[in-house]
Amino acid sequence: MILYELIDFDTLRVIWWALLGVLLIGFALTDGFDMGVGALLPFVAKTDVERRIVINTVGPVWEGNQVWFILGGGAIFAAWPPLYAVSFSGFYLAMFVVLAAFIVRPVAFKYRSKREDAAWRARWDWALFAGGAVPALIFGVAVGNVLLGVPFHLTEDLMPMYDGSFYGKFLGLLRPFALLAGVVSLSMLLMHGAAWLSLKAEGVVAERARRIGTIAGLVAAGGYALAGLWLAVGIDGFALVNEVVPGGPSNPLYSEVTRGGSWLAAYTARPWIVVAPVMGFAGIALAVMGLRAGREVSTLLWSKMGITGVIASVGLTMFPFILPSTVDPRSSLTVWDASSSHQTLFIMLVCALIFMPLILAYTAWVYKVLWGKVTEADVTGSGHSY
Amino acid sequence: MEIGLVELSRLQFAMTAMYHFLFVPLTLGLSILVAIMETVYVMTNRPIWRQMTKFWGTLFGINFVLGVATGITMEFQFGMNWSYYSHYVGDIFGAPLAIEGLMAFFLEATFVGLFFFGWDKLSKVQHMVVAWLVAIGSNFSALWILIANGWMQNPVGAEFNPETMRMEMTSFFDVVFNEVAQAKFVHTVSAGYVTAAVFVLGVSALYLIQDRHKDLARRSIAVASSFGLAAALSVVVLGDESGYSASHTQKMKLAAIEAMWETEEAPASFTLVGLPDKEARETHYAVHIPWAMGLIGTRSLTEEIPGINQLEAESADKIRNGVIAYDALMTIRAERDATPQAVRDRFEAHSDDLGYAFLLKRYVEDPREATEEQIAMAAEDTIPGVAPLFWAFRIMVALGFSFIAVMAYFFYRASFRNMQFPRWSLYAAVAIIPTPWIAAELGWFVAEFGRQPWTVDGVLPTALSVSHLGIADLLITLAGFVLFYTVLFVIEVSLMVKYIRKGPFQDVAETEAWQARHEARLRRMPDAPAATATPAE
């Protein structure tokens, strides 16, 4: 029974590369707005009631949203084991900070309003702010570093090794281009959070959110444009030298890779991918206009389109690279040499095809049940809000 | 190989995993108990059952969030601290983790929000369905995690691929229906049910002692003790199943747990207590029960269970085989398609023992250059710490049996003694609240410490699995986790205590209205018993 050969190995690899993008985008679109809302919390809500309104706009859904992050981890493990092994250990301390944020955030949502004490609540508000803003920044910094290339190499046994000193490895992530990517990511999610609040909150809270969201959207668009320019003139890309062996083994060391040229060469090789950055700019622009005009549902949708375009543009620009290595380009992980086996990719695809539609269906149902604005009466009346 | 790095990585993993498992068992069991209570509410319409659902649901929520939060660490820690492990077995091990997210975690996490926020937005039946979906999601989570863990104990359905230097899946079916995984799953979820039952029992007993919320407490004890009795029986029965599967899949672990140094003539005796001594290779002051071990381990009177010394000698043979496989592997890797068929055949013949050659990497860079002395040292490494396993196992089993007694007693009083509980029994119920956690942590200790020196039994040694991080990296995160987790633990426990003190929220008007309706109904049925016949009213 060789069912899995129904789909050829390289096709599966491309499908799983696309699904990796879907997961990252799914995470940014759902958990992204809770991170944005957390980061906006101190600025859009001043009184305790306002803060509770803001928190309760995401109260019932953040838990499901955060699963996108966890599923992302699991799916990378299952479909791209070398990527899972190299990236999370290579970005070790940055990952620790992200984990700390994602541990403190759920607890803050859940525990904040369980005591009346103002100091208690103020501390948790701070945790919600940091728990939203810090990962939003770090994810961008990580993406920036991936574009720049990461200092790792694989031994002949395919054991990942990291080069550079301890401080180099952590502070070395904070390169100027990576920081710019971090700013794009943070401002984009602030915009997204503001679009969510504009839909789910009312009055002064929504008003403040729209104002900050407009600025954040402009910063995101500007930063994104600047990053594109920087990629065009100041950053080396990577390229595969050898012909790809069809259905070849997942061993990065079998490939030849050079560093040099530009990532943006991809746009001459595959001109259609320009659709991604166009979506990015257009989505952000329309979201900003929507925020200014006070439109609600459409603004959130435009914001989603903008984020989708920005994230997709990174993947499409780098294809087939997933994680390039600066110190040993040969060790770079690509779509053709860093996947799971043919059979595992097939089985995981079957699972994803069964469960993703179900997940989308019941998630949509939950959002429908919770449809409507969160008001002062909601947070002061019910014993079950946060 | 920096030994310090391996030990620190293990310490961090053990700490974060055991901490995570402080919250998981209660989530597994309480989610089901809450769903049962809500089902009774939907069926009877009595406000008390909704009050119970909400009260235990609140405590469930406080616990659940920390289970989720600490689970995030587990999902990423393999990549962060065990990168060679992740590369080497990710093709198999990653799949159940991803399926857990797709099938289970999305379900529980999406609906748990609705459970708390949906009381006014959903119909009664809808809300009950939501409660069940949370419970089912939590339990399915455990299934996939234990399939992953079961594979580490008994790596079936996979083979080594020399071109990619890793294990690759050959049969998904074998991985999912791994007998070790299945036995572990039912044993673990049953342990979770016992934990929740003991928790509900203890908190309810506290209310009875304090003479408050007696309605809620009595009914909760009735539910918890019947559920807990079934669960406690199943924990022990299925624990025995795990023991049986270990007798043919993880012989060394079983021998170490039993401190069985020499192979005994079948059926082997069971050592009830004693002082295992690894130096002298014997167990001092041992008290034996004849035949018992043979019966439990092999379910036969004739099959032998090998002792530690014999297994150590077998390990040395496997190491020698592994070196042959390793040598062939080096040729295959160098020659690739030009490899002579004879070398490939040699590799195929010995590849099952390839992992044993890696045990030598602790002593020598190239296993092919190992001396007999080094092989002997590596073979000795395959014996896990006998005394800690011996004792951890016995304490766990003793606790397991005591839960049956406790649950049976409360079930009897609740069912046949009109829900009257003597005061001493209530104090005892409060006092034993922590014990299921102790049993569960000891169980994990036996499972994972007993698997050493392997991360994947017979396939990949622990020492080889780690990420090559700096010691400073590890110290920072270890200190961070300790600090962070301690603070969260203190906050969690203090909130639990606060909400237990506060007690359930009783909607007096609603309860009285229901009571009035209920009595009116009874007046229309003259033969019915009086409304206040049971002391629970």
Q: Which of A69, A73, A160 sits opposite B83 (nearest CB)?
A: A160
- Inter-chain residue contact B109 with A107, CB threshold 8 Å: no
Percent of chain A at pLDDT above 70?
A: 97
Spatial separation of the C-alpha atoms in residues A36 and A32, rounded to whole Å: 6
pLDDT class of B524 with cuts at 50, 70, 90: confident
Q: What is the mean pLDDT of residues A321-333?
A: 92
Residue B174 Cα distances to A140, A197, B92, B154, angstroms: 40, 48, 11, 11
The per-residue pLDDT for B517 is 78
Residues of B in contact with A87 (CB under 8 A): 79
C-alpha–C-alpha distance, residues A12 and A35, integer Å: 32
pLDDT-derived band of residue A371, with 50, 70 and 90 as boundaries? Answer: confident
Which chain B residues are within 8 Å of A103, Cβ to Cβ? 69-70, 72-73, 484, 488
What does the CA dihedral B398, B403, B409, B413 come to, rounded to 10 degrees? 170
Does A352 contact B86 at a Cβ distance shorter than 8 Å?
Answer: no
Least confident of A291-295, A376-380, B347-351: A376-380
Contact B110 A370 (CB under 8 A): no
With CB atoms and an 8 Å threshold, state whether B468 touches A67: no
Residue B530 carries which DSSP code? P
pLDDT confidence band for A1 (50 / 70 / 90): low
Q: What is the C-alpha to C-alpha distance for residues A211 and A294, in angstroms, rounded to an integer?
A: 10
pLDDT of residue B527: 58
Query: Is B424 a residue whose pLDDT tops 80?
Result: yes
Please, are residues B458 and B447 in contact by the beta-carbon 8 Å criterion?
Answer: no
Find chain A residues with C-beta within 8 A of B109's C-beta: 63-64, 66-67
What number is the average pLDDT over the span B274-279? 82
> pLDDT tens digits, residue range B61-109?
999 989 988 999 999 999 999 999 999 999 999 999 999 999 999 999 8
C-alpha B294/C-alpha B309 separation (Å) is 18
Q: How far is CA A232 from CA A222, A225, A307, B150, in A?
A: 15, 11, 21, 50
Q: How far is B415 from chain A (nearest CA, A)?
A: 34
- Which of A235-239, B132-136, B234-238, B476-480 comes out lowest in average pLDDT? B234-238
* Cα–Cα distance measured from residue A288 to residue A297, given in angstroms and rounded to the nearest whole number: 13
Q: Specify the pLDDT at position B69.
A: 87
A71: helix, coil or strand?
Answer: helix
Assigned token pair, B488: 């969260």
Residue B254 is predicted with a pLDDT of 85
CB contact under 8 A, A107 and B480: no
Question: Tens of pLDDT along B282-310?
Answer: 888 878 887 777 777 777 777 778 888 88
Confidence of residue B533 (pLDDT cuts 50, 70, 90): very low
SS3 B304: coil
Alpha carbon of B65: minimum distance to chain A alpha carbons (Å)? 6
Residue B498 to residues A124, B62, B492: CA-CA distances in angstroms? 18, 11, 10
- B78: closest chain A residue by CA: A85
| Contact assessment for residue B142 and residue B185, using Cβ atoms and an 8 Å cutoff | yes
CB contact (8 A) between residue A86 and residue B69: no
Instruction: Render pLDDT for A299-320 as a digit per residue (tens, 0 to 9).
Output: 999 999 999 999 999 999 998 9
Measured N-to-C along each axis, helices B214-249 and B47-81 cross at an angle, to the nearest 10 degrees, of 30
Question: CA of B304 to nearest chain A CA: how many angstroms apart?
Answer: 37
Main-chain dihedrals φ then ψ at residue B276, nearest 5 degrees: -65, 140
Find how far residue B245's CA is from the centre of its chain: 16
Distance from CA of B97 to the nearest CA of A (A): 5
Confidence of residue A381 (pLDDT cuts 50, 70, 90): low
Cα–Cα distance for residue pair B278/B383, rounded to 1 Å: 9
DSSP state of B408: H
Q: Which residue in A has a C-alpha nearest to residue B472's C-alpha?
A: A166
The string of pLDDT tens digits covering residues B226-248 is: 999 999 999 888 877 777 777 77
Query: What tokens appear for A129 in the block?
Result: 């702010």
Q: Is B110 on the interface with A (CB under 8 A)?
A: yes
pLDDT of residue B534: 45
CB B436 within 8 A of CB B399: yes
Angle at B456 between CA B452 and CA B462, to 5 degrees: 50
Mean pLDDT of A225-241: 92
In this structure, are residues B439 and B231 in contact, taking their beta carbons and an 8 Å threshold?
Answer: no
Asked if residues A97 and A134 have their Cβ atoms less than 8 Å apart, the reply is yes
Q: What is the pLDDT of residue B526?
A: 58
Per-residue pLDDT at B398:
92
Contact between B240 and B190 under an 8 Å Cβ cutoff? The reply is no
- Looking at residue B100, its amino acid is E
Using the predicted structure, report yes or no on whether residue A229 has a pLDDT greater than 80: yes
Check CB contact under 8 Å for A67 and B99.
no
Mean pLDDT across A245-267: 89
Q: Please, is B470 exposed, middle or buried when counting C-beta atoms within 10 Å of its C-beta (0-12, 13-18, 19+)?
A: middle
- CB < 8 Å from A in window 239-298 of B: none
SS3 label, residue A382: coil
Contact A362 B109 (CB under 8 A): no
Tell me, yes or no, if B140 comes closer than 8 A to chain A by beta carbon. no
Tell me which residues of chain A, numbers 86 to 145, contact chain B at a CB-CB cutoff of 8 Å: 86-89, 92-93, 95-96, 99-100, 102-104, 106-107, 109-111, 114-115
Instruction: Give B13-18 contacts, CB < 8 A, sequence gap 24+.
Output: B13/B77, B13/B81, B13/B82, B14/B448, B15/B478, B15/B481, B15/B482, B15/B485, B16/B70, B16/B73, B16/B74, B16/B77, B16/B481, B16/B485, B17/B74, B17/B444, B17/B448, B18/B441, B18/B444, B18/B445
The pTM score is 0.90
pLDDT of A147 higher than 50: yes
B365-409 pLDDT tens trace: 899 998 999 999 999 999 998 899 999 999 999 999 999 999 999
Q: Find out whether B149 and B170 touch, Cβ atoms under 8 Å.
A: no
CA–CA dist B401, B235 (Å, integer): 9
Overall average pLDDT of the B129-133 stretch: 95
Distances (CA, A) of A238 to A147, A307, A320: 9, 25, 10
* pLDDT > 50? residue B537: no
On chain B, the residues whose CB falls within 8 A of the CB of A156 are: 333
CB contact under 8 A, A347 and B495: no
Cβ–Cβ gap B101/A75 under 8 Å: yes
CA angle A147, A153, A159 (to 5 degrees): 125
Partners of residue A333 on adjacent β-strands: A323
Q: How far apart are CA A110 and CA B498, in angstroms?
A: 14
* Cβ-contact A181, A173 below 8 angstroms: no
Kindly report the CA angle at A105 between A100 and A109, in degrees rounded to 5?
A: 160
Residue bearing tokens 């998904």: B172
How many CA atoms lie less than 13 Å away from A244 in the CB half-sphere?
Answer: 15
Window 142-171 of B, Cβ < 8 Å to A: 161, 163-166, 168-170
Local structure of A321: helix, strand or coil: strand
More confident call, A283 vs A117: A283
B25: cis peptide before it, omega within 30°? no
Rounded Cα gap, residues A265 and A274, in angstroms: 12
Mean pLDDT of B178-207: 93
Give B536's pLDDT tier (boundaries 50, 70, 90).
very low
Of these ranges, A72-81, A154-163, A376-385, the one predicted with the greatest mean pLDDT is A72-81
Other beta carbons within 10 angstroms of residue B474's beta carbon come to: 21
Residue A351: list chain B partners with CB under 8 A.
95, 98-99, 102-103
Which pair of structure tokens corresponds to residue A360?
């989308």
Q: Rg of chain A's alpha carbons, rounded to an integer?
A: 21
What average pLDDT does the structure give for chain B? 88
Number of residues assigned to chain A: 386
Set of chain B residues whose Cβ sits within 8 Å of the Cβ of A343: 168-170, 172
Q: What is the pLDDT of residue B249?
A: 81
Closest to B117 (Cβ–Cβ): which among A74, A96, A384? A384
Out of A70, A111, A363, closest to residue B72 by CB: A70
What pLDDT does B125 receive?
93
Mutant choice from B81, B92, B114 vs A, greatest count of A C-beta within 10 A: B114
Distance CA B158, CA B171 (A): 7
Going by DSSP bridges, is the β-strand pair B270-277/B166-169 parallel, antiparallel, or unpaired?
unpaired
Least confident range from B110-114, B238-242, B425-429: namely B238-242
Contact residues, chain A, for B117 at CB < 8 Å = 59-60, 370, 384-385
Residue type, B236: V
H or E stretch including A160?
A: strand A160-162
**pLDDT score recorded for residue B201:** 95
The answer to whether A274 and A251 have CB atoms below 8 angstroms apart is no
A363 touches chain B (CB under 8 A): yes
